[in-house]
Amino acid sequence: MKFTKGLLQRASWDIKDAEVTPEAVFNDRRRIVKAMGLGALGASIPGHVQAGIFDLFGENKTQSPFITSSLSFTTNQAFAGQGIATPFNKVTSHNNFYEFGTSKQDPSENAQGFKIDPWKLVIEGEVEQTLTLDLDDLTKLMVLEERTYRLRCVEAWSMVIPWVGFPLATLLKKAGVKSNATHVAFETLFDPEQMPGQKSRLMGGGIHYPYVEGLTINEAMNDLSFLAVGLYGKTLPPQNGAPIRLVVPWKYGFKSIKSIVRIRVMDKQPPTSWNQLASHEYGFYANVNPDVDHPRWSQATERRIGEGGLFSAKRINTQMFNGYGEQVADLYQGLDLKSHF
Ligand SMILES: Nc1nc2c(c(=O)[nH]1)N[C@H]1C(S)=C(S)[C@@H](COP(=O)(O)O)O[C@H]1N2
Ligand SMILES: [Mo]
């Protein structure tokens, strides 16, 4: 029991991924977690939680796979050479989407029945014109392009993903940003019936749902800030944030909020989910920075998922702004990046 308890209390970033854990050991851990029941978990579960907790609440693997469809787009060559794209099966099976469970394989296992039609995206707040768009409106309104970006999670793993979508700024300009705007807030769908992680704080890793995120207006208007509606040439699978999610490649992955229903232009800084949960660990800015360690682990290096040997992902040095300093460093002139982490 002692050994099991140790596993449970270790944060998920300390645990090697399911993919690097021999299958038998991994399944055994899941079984042990189930057998322990709720009591052993204690009252409070900190963020970026233990693998496998979701299994306590029943598994939902009988759904038929979510259907994606092809998209028309042009490849933006300026963002084509970002490294070797992470294999599709890794991109779609190693995910963080706590609404569907807190371990890496939970979203792909639990989200296949996710309903995205009808979907309504509202752009509101400090704008000339409130926009309410369904998916049809969005695809008619926006010209799609493919951009390959690096994604760096604060848990020190990374991927290279070919997204399809459009710059956030293009959409904001259609609504017309008012001159008093300072920030943009984003909100994920709240639907506990569909997203079991939203049913209780324990099931959802401690987060107060709906998941919310935010950017400064200058960050939002930067060309790199991207709204993705697809990856690998097809519409997004639910585990990656269908039907529309933010991608902010110079920031830690938790800024890249999934399954967005609301974008609100604001005149003050909005609250953000991980910052609300543990402000000393997750800042509002969350710019990738190898020199500012998370209180519990170093950010100097990262594991590139899908590269390297059979049993371990390749470890590489983490770059300032995830390598996008040329495009975004100007946004932070005069800001102390050690205290504004
Ligand atoms: N709504 C919502 N968005 C989310 C998350 C989440 O749990 N819920 N996880 C974030 C984190 S921590 C990361 S690393 C990325 C992962 O994106 P991916 O699974 O598509 O690689 O999504 C981010 N967006
Ligand atoms: Mo993350």
Contact 236, 136 (CB under 8 A): no
Q: Residues 70-90: what's their mean pLDDT?
A: 93
122 in a structural domain: yes
Is 110 near ligand 1, meaning CB less than 6 Å away? no
Q: In residues, how long is the chain?
A: 341
Q: Residues 194-202: what's their mean pLDDT?
A: 93
119 in a structural domain: yes
340 in a structural domain: no
CATH at 89: 3.90.420.10
235 in a structural domain: yes
Pocket test of ligand 1: the residue of 106, 244, 256, 305 to mutate, having most ligand atoms within 8 Å of its CB, is 256
pLDDT in tens, 216-253: 999 999 999 999 999 999 999 999 999 999 999 999 99
Confidence category of residue 62, pLDDT binned at 50, 70, 90: low
Residue 75 pLDDT exceeds 70: yes
Is 188 near ligand 1, meaning CB less than 6 Å away? yes
291 in a structural domain: yes
The backbone torsions φ and ψ at residue 39, rounded to the nearest 5 degrees and listed phi first, read -50, -40
Pocket test of ligand 1: the residue of 254, 259, 303 to mutate, having most ligand atoms within 8 Å of its CB, is 254
Confidence category of residue 61, pLDDT binned at 50, 70, 90: low
Contact 305, 274 (CB under 8 A): no
CA distances from 142 to 73, 133, 227 (A): 10, 11, 10
99 in a structural domain: yes
Known binding residues for Mo-molybdopterin:
95, 98-99, 153, 188, 240, 245, 256-258
Residue 19 pLDDT exceeds 90: no
Query: What is the position in ligand 1's atom list of the atom closest to the CA of 246?
Result: 24
Q: Residues 327-339: what's their mean pLDDT?
A: 95
Distance CA 223, CA 168 (A): 8
Q: How much distance in Å is there from the Cα of 1 to the middle of ligand 1? A: 32
Residue span of the structural domain in which 319 resides: 2-332
How high is the pLDDT of residue 202? 84
Distance CA 308, CA 315 (A): 8
- Give every CB contact of residue 306 below 8 A, 6+ residues apart in sequence: 86, 87, 90, 159, 313
Confidence category of residue 311, pLDDT binned at 50, 70, 90: confident
Query: What is the position in ligand 1's atom list of the atom closest to the CA of 48?
Result: 12
Percent pLDDT > 70 in the chain is 82
Known binding residues:
95, 98-99, 153, 188, 240, 245, 256-258
Sign of the Cα pseudo-torsion (318, 319, 320, 323, in order) = negative
Contact 241, 224 (CB under 8 A): no
CA proximity to 19, closest of 315, 301, 307, 294 = 307
Is 187 near ligand 1, meaning CB less than 6 Å away? no
The secondary element (H helix, E strand) that includes residue 229 is strand 226-231
339 in a structural domain: no
93 in a structural domain: yes
The secondary element (H helix, E strand) that includes residue 28 is helix 23-36
Instruction: Name all contacts of 277-285 with Cβ < 8 Å and 24+ positions apart.
Output: 277/47, 277/206, 277/207, 277/208, 278/46, 278/47, 281/47, 282/47, 282/154, 282/252, 282/254, 283/340, 283/341, 284/214, 284/340, 285/251, 285/332, 285/335, 285/337, 285/340, 285/341
Domain tally, the chain: 1
CA proximity to 176, closest of 135, 214, 121, 217 = 217
Q: How much distance in Å is there from the Cα of 105 to the middle of ligand 1? A: 13
Residue 24 pLDDT exceeds 50: no
CA proximity to 202, closest of 279, 101, 276, 95 = 101
Which ligand approaches the C-alpha of residue 273 most closely? 1
Q: Name the residue with the closest Cα to ligand 1, atom 19.
A: 95
Q: Residues 25-42: what's their mean pLDDT?
A: 37
Is 98 near ligand 1, meaning CB less than 6 Å away? yes
Contact 54, 106 (CB under 8 A): yes
Is 99 near ligand 1, meaning CB less than 6 Å away? yes
What's the CA dihedral at 258, 262, 264, 269 to 10 degrees?
Answer: -40
Distance CA 204, CA 45 (A): 10
Q: How much distance in Å is there from the Cα of 239 to the middle of ligand 2? A: 13
